[in-house]
Structures are given as C-alpha cells and as structure tokens.
Amino acid sequence: MKLFDDVDEKRTLYRTKKFLTVTFPKIRMQSGLSSIDLQSPTISDMPSSAPYGNSNERKWLRMLERQDEVKDVIRAINSTSSISKFILRSCYLDGLSNWQVSQRLNFGNTRFAELKNKALLEFATAIEVYGVNLIEFRV
C-alpha cells in the first residue's frame, strides 16, 4: 500500500537514505561542539573579529540549532510505526548493520528490505512537519 499515489518512491527512498546516512551524521556531530571550540572572548583594544557580533554567540546558536535538528529527526523516527521505529533507530541511531537488525527481527533479507523501505517512506513523511522535504512526486 502506497502512502501517496503520486510519490516517486524510488527517488524518495534515495533522498531519505542520503539524508540519514550523510546529512544527519554531520548534524549530529555539529550538535555537540566541545567546550574548547567555544572559548571565552579575548579582550583587546584592537578589533579582531567582524564588528557585527560575537563569534562565540554564533557558535552557541549554531550548536543549539543543530541540537534542535537532531531532536526533530528523533521525533520523526518516534512518530513512525513500532517496527519502522525499531528499524530506523537501530540502523541510523545505534549504527547497526542491516543484517544485524534483520537477525534481531528474525526476518530474511527480502522481507527486511521491504520493511526498511516502508520505514524510510514513513520517516520521509514524518520529517516534513519539521521542514525537511524528502518526498519526491512524479511529474
């Protein structure tokens, strides 16, 4: 059963996998900048940075934005069906391989691939609420 009739599932699956395997890990990394990157400002009578703001403040704001984005992805994953949630969390948050997850679920490769694709399509629909558009429609 398709979620939407005019969705290009193949393209949507590609975009969703790319988001979860390439973009999301970067967002996750950037959400936890170490305190060494957020140094106290150096006081000097000579200007050393752009006159329009504090670079530490920009770093903090960027880190907080990234933390919100990570939370949005987790909320979207949590809003999928229970089996989809398990697959998405296992593969993209816990870093388990497909064969490890399929063994835990006691499914063969073909059935697992079907369920994973379903989970990815559910995620693509759920993440739209947070402003991330992964769904491609047929023209």
Give pLDDT tens digits along the chain (139 positions): 455 568 899 999 999 999 999 999 999 888 884 433 434 444 455 555 555 567 788 888 888 898 899 899 999 999 999 999 999 999 999 999 999 999 999 999 999 999 999 999 999 999 999 888 888 887 6
Q: What is the largest CA-CA distance in the chain?
A: 68
| 14 part of a folded domain | yes
Is residue 115 in a domain? Answer: yes
- On whether residue 84 sits in a domain, the answer given is yes
Considering the domain boundaries, does residue 110 fall inside one? yes
What is the DSSP-derived secondary structure letter of residue 58?
H
pLDDT given for residue 39 in this prediction: 42
Rounded to whole angstroms, the Cα distance separating 87 from 92 reads 8
Q: Among residues 75, 76, 111, 105, which one has the least CA distance to residue 90?
A: 105
Residue with tokens 């949630």: 85
- Residue 23 vs residues 26, 59, 112, 120: alpha-carbon distances, Å: 5, 19, 24, 15
pLDDT at 38: 38
Q: Which residue type, as a one-letter code, is found at position 53?
A: G
Total tally of structural domains belonging to the chain: 1
**Would you say 120 and 13 are in contact if contact means Cβ atoms under 8 Å apart?**
yes
pLDDT of residue 57: 83
Q: Is residue 75 domain-resident?
A: yes
CA distance 15 to 11: 6
Q: Is 139 within the bounds of a domain?
A: no
**Domain encompassing residue 13:** 9-32+57-130
Report pLDDT for 9: 93
Record the pTM: 0.78
E strands, the chain, in order: none
Residue 43 lies in a domain: no
- For residues 82 and 122, the answer to whether their CB atoms sit within 8 Å is no
User: Any idea what the CATH number is for the domain that residue 72 is in?
Assistant: 1.10.10
Residue 13 forms part of a structural domain:
yes
